[in-house]
């Protein structure tokens, strides 16, 4: 099952704070980064390790280090930037690929306005970050783009997911696992997740 709803008490608590409409921009931002870090911990649980030897205080010590695949974090503009520091706190060596996708209001088709991908994507695990998985349009378009660039291992980290968005990703890309703090009820007539968080971009950037 490619959807992982992480029901850790710290995540439940922090998400509960984020649901409060009166939460300040500063605190909303901090909670986004902290939940992003906790989701990163879960989404990287199976990264391969290899043995290594460290020169310790009492001589050589057998240790382990991350092996093989390097990581790229892929924030979807603009709200995805609100999770970036949280991911980088746990994976500081990750490279950042930035993606901007907008919906043409006439054709309703997703179109790309920023595509700044790092090299060596065929060797990297991509962690796509976007706070809200609503219809899934931007997420599916981002996964399409990454796969076209050669990326083979992709995971998505979202704070809140709507069932319709999960279905869209599962249908188009059944190999992509989604890590979320909550699977919410539905989308309203304006495309907002209910109960959701409101407009996550506005709340992160203070533009509401």
**Chosen residue from 134, 157, 168, 181 binding ligand URA by CB under 6 A:** 134
Catalytically active residues are: 103, 107, 199, 202
Give start and end residues of each alpha helix (H) in the chain. 9-19, 25-43, 81-90, 137-148, 163-172, 200-205
Asked if residue 15 has a cis previous peptide bond (ω within 30° of 0), the answer is no
Which listed residue (81, 87, 132, 157) binds ligand URA by CB under 6 A? 132
Contact of 39 with 157, CB cutoff 8 Å: yes
80 lines the binding site for ligand URA (CB under 6 A): no
- Whichever of 99 and 200 has its CB closer to ligand URA, that residue is 200
Site for ligand URA contains 103 (CB under 6 A): no
Judged by CB under 6 A, the stretch of 2-10, 59-67, 96-104, 196-204 that binds ligand URA is 196-204
201 near ligand URA (CB under 6 A): yes
200 contacts ligand URA (rule: CB under 6 A): yes
> Least distance from C-beta 208 to ligand URA, angstroms?
10
Q: Single out the residue of 83, 169, 193, 204 in contact with ligand URA (rule: CB under 6 A).
A: 193
User: Is 85 among the residues that bind ligand URA (CB under 6 A)?
Assistant: no
| 68 phi/psi in degrees, rounded to 5 | 65, -120
Residue 157's nearest CA partner among 48, 68, 38 is: 38
User: Angle of helix 25-43 relative to helix 9-19, nearest 10 degrees?
Assistant: 150
**Could you give the CA distance from residue 10 to residue 145 in angstroms, rounded to a whole number?**
33
Which residues of the chain form contacts with ligand URA (CB under 6 A)?
79, 132, 134, 191-193, 196, 199-201
């Amino acid at each position: 099952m490619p959807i992982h709803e992480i029901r850790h008490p710290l995540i439940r608590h922090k998400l509960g704070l984020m649901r409060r409409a009166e939460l300040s921009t500063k605190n909303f931002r901090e909670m986004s980064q902290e939940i992003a870090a906790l989701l990163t911990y879960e989404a990287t649980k199976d990264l391969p390790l290899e043995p290594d030897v460290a020169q310790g205080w009492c001589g050589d010590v057998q240790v382990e280090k991350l092996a093989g695949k390097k990581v790229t974090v892929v924030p979807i503009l603009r709200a995805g930037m609100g999770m970036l520091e949280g991911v980088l706190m746990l994976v500081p060596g990750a490279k950042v690929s930035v993606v901007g996708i907008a919906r043409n209001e006439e054709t309703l088709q997703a179109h790309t306005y920023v595509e700044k991908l790092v090299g060596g994507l065929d060797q990297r695990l991509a962690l796509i970050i976007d706070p809200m998985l609503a219809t899934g349009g931007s997420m599916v378009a981002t996964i399409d783009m990454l796969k076209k660039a050669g990326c083979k291992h992709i995971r998505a980290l979202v704070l809140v997911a709507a069932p319709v968005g999960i279905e869209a990703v599962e249908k188009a890309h059944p190999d992509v696992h989604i890590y979320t703090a909550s699977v919410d009820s539905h989308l309203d007539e304006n495309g907002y997740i209910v109960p959701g968080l409101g407009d996550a971009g506005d709340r992160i950037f203070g533009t509401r």
